[in-house]
Amino acid sequence: MKETTPTAMPPCFDKWCHRFDDVFTHIAQKTGFRHYLGGLLGESERKNLTQMSKDAVGVTYHRLHHFLTAATWDAERLNERRLQVMQQCSQTKIRRGFTLIIDDSGHRKSGKSTAGVGRQYIGEIGKTENGVVLVTTHLYDGVKSLPLDVSLYQHASSLPQGKQSPEFIKKPELALKLVDKCLARGERPGIVLIDAGYGNNSNFLKQLEAKELRYIGGLAKNRKVLVPGTNSQEAKKIRLDELAESLEQEAFTAIELKVEKLRTVWVATLEVELSTMSGSKKVAIVMNAPTFAFATEVDYLLTNVTTEKATSEWIVTTYSQRNWVEVFYREAKGWLGLKEYQVRGDRSLYRHWILVFCAYSFIVWHQLTGGLRRRWANQPLETFNDALSAFKTAISYRFVRWLQENMDVFAAYKASLGFIWA
């Protein structure tokens, strides 16, 4: 069933799209941008090319496919314009000292023809499967959560010469390239958050320090650290899990942490050294129980912030902001079709992801500026889903009005399905 038509989209949608018009060189490209963005934001639960073209009156699969795969527009330039648009409004501009979150996310993908596809660990299912992985940088500034940049991880098995191929770049190297993009815009984060996949990479941490960036990163439990001795005792090298087990219960402080719900964690911090890095670092051992023996979850965090600021509470509270990128992945995959594409080339994949970023930013922008709230909701739009639902309400309302004025189109559609309409 047709659920919308581009000519009946709410005025706020065309005003948003108009801000990107000079990124495209032809009217067909500007139209394709509106059709694709409208499809991502539309009512349909599926966001692939076939379904988006079926759901909208006046949108065809071949034109939508051509826009995504063959049209000569620059996705990099589109992404830069998206961030510039966010910077132009006082409610949506990036605040100073924001948190930069580096992460990667994968999803299942069958076959061998899609760029980057290979048998690799897929976080959303928690095991190794055939799939695609993308590396992203994400920001949280206390007011909003927003994707910045994205890059496809080309798994070695997807490349002709494997790890010897020039296109093969490891995830930490991809992440550093994305960090450089952020810095090149003049946006310097207050802190960088990374999981153990990056925190265990000493060279990656050294590169962050070379860029004069502060970070909090996860570490593996078998990572060895050098603990300074007390009094006449010599410094000793010890695994992190052994160090956690050796600490007395009094070394841990109970901290209430609010992520998506309130929970209590017990944290101990120590000054340590890593053999592969210079200078002392602070390690935080975070458990979900007062003692190591009863803990079922133990995390090890490393930071190069060793001043009085890096207290136990500051470390775990700041690191909990990493949850915002997980929220983004959940929303972008569940509502905007981040992993639902019908293309195989790396350029087309990148274009799809940037268009999803544009759709996500559209909702964030209207959530913060209050435009949707004034016309399409009778209560505050406190979450991304609230704002997206309000926009879908606007789409549905205007489409029904449009159908009332264009009943011949509805009759022709029913006739095309073999029904008699009179």
Cα end-to-end distance, the chain, whole Å:
19
Helix (H) or strand (E) holding 255: strand 253-258
**101 pLDDT exceeds 80?**
yes
Average pLDDT for residues 389-412, to the nearest whole number?
85
Domain 84-328: state its class. alpha beta
Lowest-confidence segment of 314-323, 331-340, 398-407 by average pLDDT: 398-407
Please, which contacts does 201-204 make with residues 24 or more away whose CB atoms are closer than 8 Å?
A: 201/172, 202/274, 202/276, 202/277, 203/172, 204/172, 204/175, 204/176
Give tens-digit pLDDT for 194-211. Answer: 999 999 999 999 999 999
Give tens-digit pLDDT for 162-186. Answer: 888 888 999 999 999 999 999 999 9
- β partners of residue 245: none
Residues of the chain with CATH 3.90.350.10: 84-328
Q: What is the pLDDT of residue 231?
A: 65
CA distances from 213 to 62, 204, 418 (A): 46, 12, 64
CA dist 228 and 274 (Å) reads 11
Residue labelled with tokens 């569940």: 334
Which amino acid does the sequence have at 393?
T
Confidence of residue 350 (pLDDT cuts 50, 70, 90): very high
Give tens-digit pLDDT for 258-297. Answer: 877 889 999 999 999 998 888 889 999 999 999 999 999 9
Find, among 90, 96, 123, the residue nearest to 108 by Cα. Answer: 123
Q: What is the DSSP string of 68-99?
A: HHTS---HHHHHHHHHHHHHTSTTTSPPTTPE
Find, among 63, 157, 152, 62, the residue nearest to 105 by Cα. Answer: 152
Find, among 348, 349, 377, 350, the residue nearest to 363 by Cα. Answer: 377
Q: What is the DSSP string of 102-170?
A: EEEEEEE--SS-STT-EEEEETTTTEEEEEEEEEEEEEE-SS-EEEEEEEEE--GGGSTTGGGSTT---
**232 pLDDT exceeds 70?**
no
Q: What is the pLDDT of residue 300?
A: 97
Q: Is 229 helix (H, G, I), strand (E, B) or coil?
A: coil
CA dist 301 and 308 (Å) reads 17
**8 pLDDT exceeds 90?**
no
Find, among 93, 97, 103, 95, the residue nearest to 214 by Cα. Answer: 97
Question: What is the number of residues in the chain?
Answer: 422
Could you tell me what percent of the chain has a pLDDT over 70?
A: 97
